[in-house]
Amino acid sequence: MNLLNIANKNDLVAICQHIGTDLRALKYLEPKHEIYHIFIPKVDYRAAGFLKQEMLSRGGDAVVAKHVIDGRIDYSGVLLMGTRSQLESLIIKIDAMKFWGLAEIQNDLKNLLAGLDVKEFKINFPNNKTLTLDKNAKLMAILNLTPNSFYEPSRIANENDLLKRAEKFLNDGAAILDLGAESTRPNFTPVDEDEEIKRLLPALKILRKEFSNAIISVDTYKSKTAEIAFNEGADIINDISAFELDPKILDVIAKIKLPYVLTHSKSEDTHEHNLLEAMRKFFVEKIKILTEHGFEREKIILDPGLGFGKTPDENYLIVKNIECLKIFGLPVLVGHSRKRFTGVGNNSQPERLAATLAVTSMLAQKVNILRVHDVIENFAALEISKRIAEINLEPELNNALLQ
């Protein structure tokens, strides 16, 4: 007897072939091989009771508060537990019960399942370049043009240093170069636009000249910097403030039409127990604002903002549940490299590489872009994760395991 990890359709096909199953049954077996756990934090008690009964009738289940049954509470959290086919059947059933907030739950379930179906994103740039993002994360390499970035070895010393690092990062496997001219470390002191542009422009110009095909991201929340960066050949605007520090950037990005990294920051009144729901609502609101300003939804990249106003445990919570962002059907970028939450014990910041690689391995097939300082090490972690993920249960090679 062996407990197997049936991680995808290929694994399911392989074991069915080994057993001798009629492969026409795959149509019915595939939606049943994975159980989803979906938490809804606040549901009308009547809707909670309905969800419980409907999931049970389909062979799944729903966890609700004990007083849902007698109506002694108004609301309950709900944990849906079921297969893809059970959830799809529930969505259809709700068509006849669109009250008690069930219509919104139905819509969110539809979006979540649709997001899980997205296996590839194609990001198109105004200069006709395209970046394809699939189930295996790509690396964004950090190039710091600041004298005070939190990881000192990442600071660029001069033009020659910039070119050498950029070339090495691209050769080592980076898909994107991320240029930053202002440190956004905790409690950072902002620099004015003129100083940021003074640091940024020479570096951007030389990189664009020397690496014409490279995809270059500019880490800025300032509207003037974003527009100038676009004029000098930047491909992505990476805004850590979600257009809160400079709302004018909304008009700029709508005009220049570059892909935009939308980053979550935790407000002071958000606590760990509702952080994931607060993050979901944050992105719903921000995406709505962006699209109302004429920005193309498909050019939004979501960043959960690890380290931005969050405790170590909150960062771990997000990493563990990162796939909750699939409800949006948009690419996800994570910046975890050498941040404080990757410290173990009293480890100082330069000793955080091993922990960074652990997070990289965990997220390798769950997000689309990982922003890192150490490209060659993180690329190796991604490659090993990819090889493990792609190993299939091929009967002719694994008879010993399957017997």
How far apart (Å, rounded) are the C-alpha atoms in residues 197 and 224? 9
The residue annotated as part of the active site, out of 339, 352, 366, 386, is 339
How far apart (Å, rounded) are the C-alpha atoms in residues 383 and 349? 25
124: Cβ–Cβ under 8 A, 6 or more apart, which residues?
A: 130
How far apart (Å, rounded) are the C-alpha atoms in residues 140 and 334? 10
Phi, psi (degrees; rounded to nearest 5) at 176? -140, 140
- Is the dihedral angle over the CA atoms 103, 104, 105, 110 positive or is it negative? positive
The verdict on whether 119 is a catalytic residue reads: no
User: What is the helix, strand, coil percentage profile of the chain, to 5?
Assistant: 50, 15, 35
The verdict on whether 371 is a catalytic residue reads: yes
Q: Which long-range contacts (CB under 8 A, 24 or more apart) does 129-133 make?
A: 129/213, 129/215, 129/235, 131/175, 131/176, 131/215, 133/331, 133/368, 133/369
Pairing of strands 75-83, 61-63: antiparallel
How far apart (Å, rounded) are the C-alpha atoms in residues 67 and 47? 13
- Is the dihedral angle over the CA atoms 34, 40, 41, 43 positive or is it negative? negative
Chain Cα centroid distance, residue 125: 20
The residue annotated as part of the active site, out of 46, 371, 386, 387, is 371
Cα separations (Å) of 88 from 107, 114, 116?
Answer: 12, 11, 13
Helices (H), 241-345: 249-256, 275-292, 312-320
Catalytic residues: 339, 371
